[in-house]
Structure 1
Amino acid sequence: MLYFESEFMESITNSMPLSNRTAVITGASGGMGSAIAARLVAEGAAVAVLGRRTEKLDQLAAGLSDGPGRIVPVTTDITSETDVEAAVATIHEALGEVDLLVNAAGVMLANPLSDGRSDEWETMIETNLTGLLRVTRAFLPDLLGHKHDVPADIINISSIAAHVVFPDYAVYAATKAAVTALSAMQRTEIARDGVRVTNIEPGLTDTELGTHLDNDRLRSELQSMFAAIEPIKAVDIADLVHYVVTRPANVNLRQVMILPTLQA
Protein backbone atom coordinates (compact mmCIF):
# COMPACT_ATOMS: atom_id res chain seq x y z
CA MET A 1 0.00 0.00 0.00
CA LEU A 2 1.35 3.45 -0.94
CA TYR A 3 2.34 5.91 1.78
CA PHE A 4 -0.77 7.76 3.03
CA GLU A 5 -3.02 5.55 0.86
CA SER A 6 -4.81 4.17 3.91
CA GLU A 7 -5.38 7.70 5.25
CA PHE A 8 -6.69 8.80 1.86
CA MET A 9 -9.12 5.91 1.62
CA GLU A 10 -10.27 6.61 5.18
CA SER A 11 -10.94 10.26 4.29
CA ILE A 12 -13.18 9.17 1.42
CA THR A 13 -15.35 7.09 3.73
CA ASN A 14 -15.24 9.58 6.60
CA SER A 15 -17.89 11.92 5.22
CA MET A 16 -20.66 12.16 7.78
CA PRO A 17 -24.16 11.22 6.57
CA LEU A 18 -26.95 13.79 6.74
CA SER A 19 -29.79 11.31 7.12
CA ASN A 20 -29.65 11.73 10.91
CA ARG A 21 -29.30 15.54 10.88
CA THR A 22 -31.98 18.16 11.57
CA ALA A 23 -31.38 21.56 10.02
CA VAL A 24 -32.84 25.06 10.14
CA ILE A 25 -32.20 27.37 7.20
CA THR A 26 -33.11 31.05 7.24
CA GLY A 27 -33.66 33.06 4.07
CA ALA A 28 -34.99 29.90 2.42
CA SER A 29 -37.70 31.51 0.30
CA GLY A 30 -35.12 32.15 -2.41
CA GLY A 31 -31.48 32.26 -3.46
CA MET A 32 -28.83 30.50 -1.42
CA GLY A 33 -31.23 29.45 1.32
CA SER A 34 -33.54 27.52 -0.97
CA ALA A 35 -30.60 25.92 -2.81
CA ILE A 36 -29.03 24.80 0.47
CA ALA A 37 -32.36 23.39 1.60
CA ALA A 38 -32.74 21.42 -1.61
CA ARG A 39 -29.27 19.93 -1.25
CA LEU A 40 -29.71 18.92 2.39
CA VAL A 41 -33.12 17.36 1.77
CA ALA A 42 -31.68 15.47 -1.20
CA GLU A 43 -29.04 14.07 1.18
CA GLY A 44 -31.68 12.86 3.62
CA ALA A 45 -31.70 15.61 6.24
CA ALA A 46 -34.82 16.87 8.00
CA VAL A 47 -34.98 20.57 7.18
CA ALA A 48 -37.04 23.47 8.49
CA VAL A 49 -37.03 26.33 5.99
CA LEU A 50 -37.61 29.86 7.30
CA GLY A 51 -38.50 32.94 5.30
CA ARG A 52 -41.05 35.72 5.02
CA ARG A 53 -42.66 34.63 1.73
CA THR A 54 -45.10 31.85 2.55
CA GLU A 55 -45.90 31.07 -1.08
CA LYS A 56 -42.23 30.61 -1.97
CA LEU A 57 -41.63 28.37 1.04
CA ASP A 58 -44.66 26.24 0.18
CA GLN A 59 -43.48 25.91 -3.44
CA LEU A 60 -40.04 24.84 -2.25
CA ALA A 61 -41.52 22.28 0.14
CA ALA A 62 -43.84 20.89 -2.54
CA GLY A 63 -40.95 20.54 -4.97
CA LEU A 64 -38.87 18.63 -2.42
CA SER A 65 -41.64 16.50 -0.95
CA ASP A 66 -40.46 13.37 -2.77
CA GLY A 67 -36.87 13.71 -1.58
CA PRO A 68 -35.30 11.30 0.88
CA GLY A 69 -35.28 13.99 3.56
CA ARG A 70 -38.12 15.89 5.22
CA ILE A 71 -38.96 19.56 4.75
CA VAL A 72 -41.11 21.80 6.93
CA PRO A 73 -41.88 25.37 5.80
CA VAL A 74 -42.17 27.91 8.62
CA THR A 75 -43.08 31.48 7.67
CA THR A 76 -40.82 33.63 9.83
CA ASP A 77 -39.58 37.20 9.92
CA ILE A 78 -36.26 36.91 11.73
CA THR A 79 -36.40 40.59 12.71
CA SER A 80 -39.35 39.68 14.96
CA GLU A 81 -38.66 38.12 18.36
CA THR A 82 -42.21 36.77 18.45
CA ASP A 83 -41.88 35.15 15.03
CA VAL A 84 -38.61 33.45 15.96
CA GLU A 85 -40.00 32.12 19.24
CA ALA A 86 -43.03 30.73 17.41
CA ALA A 87 -40.77 29.15 14.77
CA VAL A 88 -38.72 27.36 17.43
CA ALA A 89 -41.88 25.87 18.95
CA THR A 90 -43.16 24.76 15.53
CA ILE A 91 -39.85 23.19 14.56
CA HIS A 92 -39.43 21.35 17.84
CA GLU A 93 -42.92 19.92 17.52
CA ALA A 94 -42.42 18.86 13.90
CA LEU A 95 -38.79 17.75 13.85
CA GLY A 96 -37.40 17.75 17.37
CA GLU A 97 -34.09 19.31 18.34
CA VAL A 98 -31.82 20.93 15.76
CA ASP A 99 -28.12 20.17 15.18
CA LEU A 100 -27.47 22.26 12.06
CA LEU A 101 -28.23 25.96 11.61
CA VAL A 102 -27.64 27.85 8.36
CA ASN A 103 -27.99 31.61 8.69
CA ALA A 104 -28.55 32.50 5.03
CA ALA A 105 -31.04 35.37 5.35
CA GLY A 106 -29.71 38.70 4.18
CA VAL A 107 -30.49 41.91 2.32
CA MET A 108 -28.20 44.22 0.33
CA LEU A 109 -29.37 47.82 0.07
CA ALA A 110 -26.60 50.01 -1.30
CA ASN A 111 -26.51 53.80 -1.44
CA PRO A 112 -23.95 56.51 -0.69
CA LEU A 113 -23.69 57.32 3.00
CA SER A 114 -24.41 60.95 2.14
CA ASP A 115 -27.95 59.92 1.19
CA GLY A 116 -28.61 59.10 4.83
CA ARG A 117 -30.96 56.18 4.16
CA SER A 118 -31.56 55.19 7.77
CA ASP A 119 -34.45 52.94 6.68
CA GLU A 120 -32.02 50.85 4.64
CA TRP A 121 -29.43 50.83 7.43
CA GLU A 122 -31.96 49.56 9.94
CA THR A 123 -33.26 46.87 7.57
CA MET A 124 -29.76 45.54 6.88
CA ILE A 125 -28.65 45.63 10.52
CA GLU A 126 -31.88 44.03 11.74
CA THR A 127 -31.77 41.26 9.11
CA ASN A 128 -28.09 40.61 8.44
CA LEU A 129 -26.85 40.93 12.02
CA THR A 130 -29.51 41.17 14.73
CA GLY A 131 -31.76 38.61 13.03
CA LEU A 132 -28.84 36.21 12.73
CA LEU A 133 -28.07 36.69 16.42
CA ARG A 134 -31.72 36.20 17.36
CA VAL A 135 -32.05 32.91 15.47
CA THR A 136 -28.69 31.63 16.70
CA ARG A 137 -29.57 32.33 20.32
CA ALA A 138 -32.92 30.60 19.87
CA PHE A 139 -31.35 27.32 18.72
CA LEU A 140 -28.15 27.35 20.80
CA PRO A 141 -29.64 25.16 23.55
CA ASP A 142 -30.27 22.45 20.93
CA LEU A 143 -26.81 22.79 19.41
CA LEU A 144 -25.01 22.82 22.75
CA GLY A 145 -26.98 19.80 23.95
CA HIS A 146 -26.16 17.55 21.02
CA LYS A 147 -24.26 14.28 21.39
CA HIS A 148 -20.56 14.91 20.86
CA ASP A 149 -20.00 11.79 18.76
CA VAL A 150 -21.90 13.51 15.93
CA PRO A 151 -21.26 17.05 14.70
CA ALA A 152 -23.34 20.13 15.31
CA ASP A 153 -22.90 23.10 13.00
CA ILE A 154 -23.59 26.79 12.60
CA ILE A 155 -23.06 28.10 9.08
CA ASN A 156 -23.05 31.88 8.75
CA ILE A 157 -23.28 33.35 5.25
CA SER A 158 -21.18 36.50 5.19
CA SER A 159 -19.65 38.13 2.08
CA ILE A 160 -16.31 39.17 0.61
CA ALA A 161 -17.63 42.68 1.33
CA ALA A 162 -16.41 41.99 4.87
CA HIS A 163 -12.87 42.52 3.51
CA VAL A 164 -13.10 44.06 0.03
CA VAL A 165 -13.99 47.72 -0.43
CA PHE A 166 -17.07 48.40 -2.56
CA PRO A 167 -17.94 52.12 -2.68
CA ASP A 168 -21.54 52.94 -1.66
CA TYR A 169 -22.00 49.56 0.05
CA ALA A 170 -20.63 50.73 3.40
CA VAL A 171 -23.44 49.64 5.72
CA TYR A 172 -23.96 46.33 3.95
CA ALA A 173 -20.21 45.68 4.21
CA ALA A 174 -20.28 46.67 7.89
CA THR A 175 -23.00 44.11 8.64
CA LYS A 176 -21.07 41.38 6.85
CA ALA A 177 -17.82 42.31 8.59
CA ALA A 178 -19.76 41.97 11.84
CA VAL A 179 -20.96 38.50 10.81
CA THR A 180 -17.37 37.45 10.06
CA ALA A 181 -16.15 38.77 13.42
CA LEU A 182 -19.13 37.25 15.22
CA SER A 183 -18.41 33.84 13.69
CA ALA A 184 -14.88 33.92 15.11
CA MET A 185 -16.13 34.89 18.54
CA GLN A 186 -18.91 32.28 18.47
CA ARG A 187 -16.32 29.65 17.77
CA THR A 188 -14.29 30.57 20.86
CA GLU A 189 -17.38 30.16 23.04
CA ILE A 190 -18.93 26.97 21.72
CA ALA A 191 -16.20 24.87 20.08
CA ARG A 192 -15.51 23.30 23.47
CA ASP A 193 -19.09 22.00 23.37
CA GLY A 194 -18.48 20.29 20.05
CA VAL A 195 -20.27 22.90 17.93
CA ARG A 196 -18.50 23.94 14.74
CA VAL A 197 -18.89 27.43 13.30
CA THR A 198 -18.16 28.10 9.64
CA ASN A 199 -18.15 31.54 8.09
CA ILE A 200 -18.75 31.45 4.32
CA GLU A 201 -17.90 34.55 2.28
CA PRO A 202 -19.25 34.42 -1.27
CA GLY A 203 -18.19 36.73 -4.04
CA LEU A 204 -20.37 37.66 -7.02
CA THR A 205 -23.30 35.26 -6.87
CA ASP A 206 -26.29 34.92 -9.18
CA THR A 207 -29.18 35.35 -6.74
CA GLU A 208 -31.96 37.88 -6.28
CA LEU A 209 -29.87 39.82 -3.74
CA GLY A 210 -28.97 42.46 -6.33
CA THR A 211 -32.61 43.10 -7.15
CA HIS A 212 -32.98 44.81 -3.75
CA LEU A 213 -31.08 47.84 -5.06
CA ASP A 214 -33.18 50.91 -5.84
CA ASN A 215 -30.28 53.09 -7.00
CA ASP A 216 -30.22 53.06 -10.82
CA ARG A 217 -26.48 53.78 -11.06
CA LEU A 218 -25.51 51.03 -8.63
CA ARG A 219 -27.92 48.57 -10.22
CA SER A 220 -26.35 49.29 -13.62
CA GLU A 221 -22.85 48.86 -12.20
CA LEU A 222 -23.82 45.50 -10.71
CA GLN A 223 -25.33 44.37 -14.02
CA SER A 224 -22.05 45.30 -15.73
CA MET A 225 -20.17 43.11 -13.25
CA PHE A 226 -22.44 40.19 -14.09
CA ALA A 227 -21.81 40.80 -17.79
CA ALA A 228 -18.03 40.83 -17.30
CA ILE A 229 -17.70 37.98 -14.77
CA GLU A 230 -19.42 34.62 -14.81
CA PRO A 231 -20.83 34.50 -11.27
CA ILE A 232 -21.06 31.55 -8.98
CA LYS A 233 -24.55 30.17 -8.44
CA ALA A 234 -26.64 29.41 -5.39
CA VAL A 235 -26.12 25.69 -6.02
CA ASP A 236 -22.36 26.24 -5.71
CA ILE A 237 -22.90 27.62 -2.22
CA ALA A 238 -25.17 24.67 -1.44
CA ASP A 239 -22.46 22.28 -2.63
CA LEU A 240 -19.95 24.00 -0.34
CA VAL A 241 -22.28 23.87 2.66
CA HIS A 242 -22.82 20.16 2.06
CA TYR A 243 -19.07 19.57 2.03
CA VAL A 244 -18.50 21.60 5.21
CA VAL A 245 -21.18 19.88 7.30
CA THR A 246 -20.22 16.35 6.24
CA ARG A 247 -16.63 16.57 7.51
CA PRO A 248 -15.74 14.36 10.49
CA ALA A 249 -16.80 15.85 13.81
CA ASN A 250 -13.24 16.83 14.73
CA VAL A 251 -12.80 18.92 11.55
CA ASN A 252 -13.98 22.56 11.39
CA LEU A 253 -13.60 24.57 8.21
CA ARG A 254 -13.70 27.86 10.04
CA GLN A 255 -13.79 30.30 7.13
CA VAL A 256 -14.26 29.74 3.42
CA MET A 257 -14.16 32.41 0.71
CA ILE A 258 -15.81 31.27 -2.52
CA LEU A 259 -15.39 33.43 -5.62
CA PRO A 260 -15.97 33.29 -9.36
CA THR A 261 -12.70 32.42 -11.07
CA LEU A 262 -12.51 35.80 -12.79
CA GLN A 263 -13.06 37.64 -9.50
CA ALA A 264 -10.49 35.64 -7.55
Structure 2
Amino acid sequence: MTQLSNRVAVITGASSGIGRATAKLLAARGAKVAVLARRGDMLEQLVAEIRAAGGTAMALTVDVTDQASIDKAAATIEQSWGPANLVFNNAGVMLPAAIEARETGPWEQQIDLNVTGAMRVISAFVPQLLKSAEAGATVDLVNTSSIAAQNIYPYFAVYSATKAYVSHLTRHLRAELGPKNVRVSVIEPGCTDTELQGHFQFPGAIAWLEGAKQTINFLKPEDVAEVVGFLATQPKHVNLQQVVVMPTNQAS
Protein backbone atom coordinates (compact mmCIF):
# COMPACT_ATOMS: atom_id res chain seq x y z
CA MET A 1 0.00 0.00 0.00
CA THR A 2 1.24 3.49 -0.84
CA GLN A 3 -1.42 5.67 0.82
CA LEU A 4 1.24 7.45 2.86
CA SER A 5 4.16 7.39 0.44
CA ASN A 6 4.66 11.15 0.72
CA ARG A 7 4.70 11.22 4.52
CA VAL A 8 7.65 11.63 6.87
CA ALA A 9 6.36 10.23 10.15
CA VAL A 10 7.83 10.60 13.64
CA ILE A 11 6.66 8.34 16.46
CA THR A 12 7.67 8.77 20.09
CA GLY A 13 7.28 5.95 22.58
CA ALA A 14 7.92 3.64 19.64
CA SER A 15 9.78 0.81 21.36
CA SER A 16 6.61 -1.03 22.41
CA GLY A 17 2.83 -1.01 22.49
CA ILE A 18 0.84 1.53 20.50
CA GLY A 19 3.92 3.34 19.20
CA ARG A 20 5.50 0.17 17.88
CA ALA A 21 2.29 -1.01 16.23
CA THR A 22 1.75 2.40 14.65
CA ALA A 23 5.27 2.51 13.24
CA LYS A 24 4.74 -0.82 11.51
CA LEU A 25 1.36 0.21 10.13
CA LEU A 26 2.49 3.58 8.77
CA ALA A 27 5.59 2.05 7.21
CA ALA A 28 3.50 -0.68 5.60
CA ARG A 29 1.37 2.05 4.03
CA GLY A 30 4.37 3.78 2.52
CA ALA A 31 5.51 6.38 5.06
CA LYS A 32 9.13 6.93 6.01
CA VAL A 33 9.06 6.31 9.73
CA ALA A 34 11.44 7.66 12.38
CA VAL A 35 10.99 5.74 15.63
CA LEU A 36 12.01 7.43 18.86
CA ALA A 37 12.34 6.03 22.39
CA ARG A 38 14.88 5.45 25.15
CA ARG A 39 15.43 1.74 24.45
CA GLY A 40 17.66 1.76 21.41
CA ASP A 41 17.96 -2.02 21.13
CA MET A 42 14.20 -2.40 20.81
CA LEU A 43 14.08 0.38 18.22
CA GLU A 44 16.75 -1.32 16.13
CA GLN A 45 14.76 -4.56 16.20
CA LEU A 46 11.66 -2.67 15.09
CA VAL A 47 13.52 -0.97 12.24
CA ALA A 48 14.89 -4.33 11.10
CA GLU A 49 11.35 -5.74 10.98
CA ILE A 50 10.07 -2.74 9.02
CA ARG A 51 12.90 -2.93 6.51
CA ALA A 52 12.48 -6.68 6.11
CA ALA A 53 8.86 -6.02 5.16
CA GLY A 54 9.96 -3.48 2.53
CA GLY A 55 9.46 -0.32 4.55
CA THR A 56 11.70 2.66 5.32
CA ALA A 57 12.62 3.47 8.92
CA MET A 58 15.30 4.94 11.14
CA ALA A 59 15.85 4.49 14.88
CA LEU A 60 16.77 7.42 17.11
CA THR A 61 17.43 6.86 20.80
CA VAL A 62 15.72 9.76 22.54
CA ASP A 63 14.62 10.74 26.04
CA VAL A 64 11.60 13.06 25.84
CA THR A 65 12.48 14.44 29.27
CA ASP A 66 15.56 16.02 27.63
CA GLN A 67 14.87 18.82 25.15
CA ALA A 68 18.34 18.64 23.62
CA SER A 69 17.80 14.94 22.90
CA ILE A 70 14.55 15.65 21.04
CA ASP A 71 15.97 18.63 19.17
CA LYS A 72 18.92 16.55 17.98
CA ALA A 73 16.59 13.84 16.69
CA ALA A 74 14.43 16.41 14.91
CA ALA A 75 17.47 17.84 13.16
CA THR A 76 18.63 14.38 12.08
CA ILE A 77 15.23 13.55 10.58
CA GLU A 78 15.02 16.80 8.63
CA GLN A 79 18.56 16.44 7.33
CA SER A 80 17.88 12.86 6.22
CA TRP A 81 14.34 13.03 4.83
CA GLY A 82 13.20 16.64 4.89
CA PRO A 83 10.75 18.12 7.39
CA ALA A 84 8.36 15.83 9.22
CA ASN A 85 4.70 16.03 8.22
CA LEU A 86 3.22 13.47 10.62
CA VAL A 87 4.09 13.44 14.31
CA PHE A 88 2.56 10.85 16.64
CA ASN A 89 3.25 12.29 20.10
CA ASN A 90 2.82 9.07 22.01
CA ALA A 91 5.42 8.62 24.78
CA GLY A 92 3.89 8.23 28.23
CA VAL A 93 3.86 6.43 31.56
CA MET A 94 1.08 5.32 33.92
CA LEU A 95 1.90 4.90 37.64
CA PRO A 96 -1.33 4.75 39.66
CA ALA A 97 -1.38 5.04 43.45
CA ALA A 98 -3.58 6.34 46.25
CA ILE A 99 -3.05 10.06 46.68
CA GLU A 100 -2.48 9.69 50.43
CA ALA A 101 0.50 7.44 49.67
CA ARG A 102 2.31 10.70 48.78
CA GLU A 103 4.43 9.03 46.10
CA THR A 104 5.89 12.25 44.81
CA GLY A 105 8.48 10.52 42.63
CA PRO A 106 5.85 8.81 40.43
CA TRP A 107 3.81 12.03 40.38
CA GLU A 108 6.76 13.96 39.01
CA GLN A 109 7.68 11.20 36.56
CA GLN A 110 4.19 11.16 35.07
CA ILE A 111 4.01 14.94 34.82
CA ASP A 112 7.47 15.27 33.30
CA LEU A 113 6.89 12.57 30.70
CA ASN A 114 3.18 12.88 29.91
CA VAL A 115 2.92 16.67 30.08
CA THR A 116 6.31 18.32 29.75
CA GLY A 117 7.64 15.54 27.52
CA ALA A 118 4.71 16.00 25.16
CA MET A 119 5.43 19.72 25.07
CA ARG A 120 9.11 19.10 24.31
CA VAL A 121 8.14 17.01 21.29
CA ILE A 122 5.75 19.71 20.11
CA SER A 123 8.46 22.34 20.54
CA ALA A 124 10.92 20.33 18.49
CA PHE A 125 8.66 19.41 15.59
CA VAL A 126 6.10 22.19 15.13
CA PRO A 127 8.59 24.23 13.03
CA GLN A 128 8.93 21.26 10.66
CA LEU A 129 5.17 20.71 10.54
CA LEU A 130 4.61 24.36 9.63
CA LYS A 131 7.33 24.18 6.99
CA SER A 132 5.68 21.10 5.48
CA ALA A 133 2.27 22.78 5.50
CA GLU A 134 3.68 25.86 3.79
CA ALA A 135 5.04 23.56 1.09
CA GLY A 136 1.56 22.14 0.51
CA ALA A 137 1.89 18.79 2.26
CA THR A 138 -0.81 17.08 4.29
CA VAL A 139 0.31 17.55 7.89
CA ASP A 140 -0.75 15.88 11.15
CA LEU A 141 0.09 16.23 14.82
CA VAL A 142 -1.56 13.38 16.73
CA ASN A 143 -1.37 13.31 20.53
CA THR A 144 -2.04 10.23 22.64
CA SER A 145 -4.32 10.88 25.60
CA SER A 146 -6.61 8.39 27.36
CA ILE A 147 -10.24 7.83 28.29
CA ALA A 148 -8.92 8.66 31.77
CA ALA A 149 -8.87 12.29 30.60
CA GLN A 150 -12.67 12.19 30.74
CA ASN A 151 -13.63 9.59 33.32
CA ILE A 152 -12.91 8.98 37.00
CA TYR A 153 -10.83 6.04 38.24
CA PRO A 154 -9.58 5.52 41.81
CA TYR A 155 -5.78 5.69 42.13
CA PHE A 156 -5.32 7.29 38.69
CA ALA A 157 -5.68 10.93 39.73
CA VAL A 158 -2.27 12.17 38.59
CA TYR A 159 -2.20 10.09 35.42
CA SER A 160 -5.73 11.20 34.52
CA ALA A 161 -4.83 14.83 35.12
CA THR A 162 -1.83 14.57 32.79
CA LYS A 163 -4.02 13.12 30.06
CA ALA A 164 -6.68 15.77 30.57
CA TYR A 165 -3.90 18.28 29.93
CA VAL A 166 -3.03 16.56 26.65
CA SER A 167 -6.64 16.48 25.47
CA HIS A 168 -7.29 20.12 26.26
CA LEU A 169 -3.92 21.16 24.85
CA THR A 170 -4.90 19.54 21.55
CA ARG A 171 -8.04 21.66 21.29
CA HIS A 172 -6.02 24.83 21.78
CA LEU A 173 -3.35 23.76 19.30
CA ARG A 174 -6.02 23.26 16.66
CA ALA A 175 -7.03 26.89 17.12
CA GLU A 176 -3.44 27.98 16.52
CA LEU A 177 -2.24 25.51 13.93
CA GLY A 178 -5.41 24.65 12.02
CA PRO A 179 -5.49 28.01 10.23
CA LYS A 180 -1.93 27.23 9.11
CA ASN A 181 -3.08 23.89 7.61
CA VAL A 182 -1.69 21.66 10.35
CA ARG A 183 -4.26 19.10 11.49
CA VAL A 184 -4.18 18.41 15.23
CA SER A 185 -5.89 15.36 16.74
CA VAL A 186 -6.06 13.54 20.04
CA ILE A 187 -6.74 9.84 20.50
CA GLU A 188 -8.26 8.74 23.81
CA PRO A 189 -8.04 4.94 24.06
CA GLY A 190 -9.82 2.87 26.65
CA CYS A 191 -8.20 -0.18 28.24
CA THR A 192 -5.38 -1.28 25.95
CA ASP A 193 -3.11 -4.29 26.36
CA THR A 194 0.34 -2.68 26.59
CA GLU A 195 3.32 -2.87 28.92
CA LEU A 196 2.09 0.20 30.84
CA GLN A 197 0.09 -2.05 33.13
CA GLY A 198 3.28 -3.92 33.98
CA HIS A 199 4.52 -0.80 35.78
CA PHE A 200 1.74 -0.92 38.38
CA GLN A 201 3.03 -1.34 41.93
CA PHE A 202 0.20 -0.03 44.10
CA PRO A 203 -1.92 -3.01 45.30
CA GLY A 204 -5.24 -1.23 44.78
CA ALA A 205 -4.40 -0.45 41.17
CA ILE A 206 -3.23 -4.02 40.55
CA ALA A 207 -6.51 -5.33 41.95
CA TRP A 208 -8.44 -2.89 39.75
CA LEU A 209 -6.53 -4.10 36.68
CA GLU A 210 -7.13 -7.76 37.48
CA GLY A 211 -10.83 -7.07 37.87
CA ALA A 212 -10.98 -5.16 34.60
CA LYS A 213 -9.37 -8.02 32.72
CA GLN A 214 -12.13 -10.33 33.93
CA THR A 215 -14.86 -8.25 32.30
CA ILE A 216 -13.23 -6.31 29.45
CA ASN A 217 -11.66 -7.56 26.23
CA PHE A 218 -8.84 -5.00 26.09
CA LEU A 219 -7.91 -3.22 22.88
CA LYS A 220 -4.72 -4.32 21.14
CA PRO A 221 -2.06 -1.77 20.18
CA GLU A 222 -2.84 -2.54 16.54
CA ASP A 223 -6.42 -1.34 17.07
CA VAL A 224 -5.21 2.09 18.10
CA ALA A 225 -2.62 2.12 15.31
CA GLU A 226 -5.45 1.72 12.82
CA VAL A 227 -6.99 4.92 14.18
CA VAL A 228 -3.74 6.81 13.58
CA GLY A 229 -3.63 5.44 10.06
CA PHE A 230 -7.24 6.50 9.48
CA LEU A 231 -6.58 10.04 10.68
CA ALA A 232 -3.53 10.37 8.45
CA THR A 233 -5.33 9.23 5.30
CA GLN A 234 -8.28 11.60 5.51
CA PRO A 235 -8.66 14.26 2.81
CA LYS A 236 -6.45 17.25 3.51
CA HIS A 237 -9.36 19.46 4.59
CA VAL A 238 -10.70 16.92 7.12
CA ASN A 239 -9.45 16.94 10.72
CA LEU A 240 -10.88 14.59 13.33
CA GLN A 241 -10.20 16.59 16.48
CA GLN A 242 -10.85 13.89 19.07
CA VAL A 243 -11.24 10.13 18.68
CA VAL A 244 -12.32 7.99 21.62
CA VAL A 245 -11.66 4.31 20.92
CA MET A 246 -13.01 1.84 23.47
CA PRO A 247 -13.27 -1.90 23.99
CA THR A 248 -16.83 -2.83 23.12
CA ASN A 249 -17.54 -4.09 26.64
CA GLN A 250 -15.88 -1.25 28.55
CA ALA A 251 -18.68 1.05 29.68
CA SER A 252 -16.55 3.96 30.86
Quick check: 2:133–2:182 contact (8 Å CA) kept in 1?
A: no
**Greater shift in the superposed pair: 62-71 or 242-251:** 62-71
- Cα deviation, residue 80, structure 1: 0.6
| Superposition map of 1:72-91 within 5 A | 72-91=58-77
- Counterpart code for 2:131: G
Q: Report the 3-state secondary structure (helix = DSSP H, G, I; strand = E; otherwise coil) of the residue aligned with 1:119.
A: helix
Unaligned ranges ≥5, structure 2: none
- Cα deviation, residue 87, structure 1: 1.1
TM-score if structure 1 supplies the norm length?
0.92
Identical columns (%): 43
| Superposition map of 1:35-184 within 5 A | 35-147=21-133, 149-184=136-171
Partner Cα distance (2:118, 2:94) in 1 = 15
- Cα deviation, residue 224, structure 1: 2.0
Partner of 1:30: 16
Partner Cα distance (2:79, 2:104) in 1 = 38
Aligned-pair Cα RMSD in Å: 1.4
Partner Cα distance (1:259, 1:28) in 2 = 21
- Cα deviation, residue 34, structure 1: 0.3
Q: Report the 3-state secondary structure (helix = DSSP H, G, I; strand = E; otherwise coil) of the residue aligned with 1:164.
A: coil
- Counterpart code for 1:19: S
1:226 equivalenced with 2:234 (yes/no): no
- Counterpart code for 1:186: L
Partner Cα distance (2:106, 2:81) in 1 = 35
Quick check: 2:191–2:218 contact (8 Å CA) kept in 1?
A: yes
Q: Report the 3-state secondary structure (helix = DSSP H, G, I; strand = E; otherwise coil) of the residue aligned with 2:187.
A: strand
User: Between Structure 1 and Structure 2, how many residues are aligned?
Assistant: 250
Q: Report the 3-state secondary structure (helix = DSSP H, G, I; strand = E; otherwise coil) of the residue aligned with 2:52.
A: coil
Quick check: 2:155–2:204 contact (8 Å CA) kept in 1?
A: no
- Counterpart code for 1:111: A
Quick check: 1:21–1:100 contact (8 Å CA) kept in 2?
A: yes
| Superposition map of 1:194-233 within 5 A | 194-233=181-220
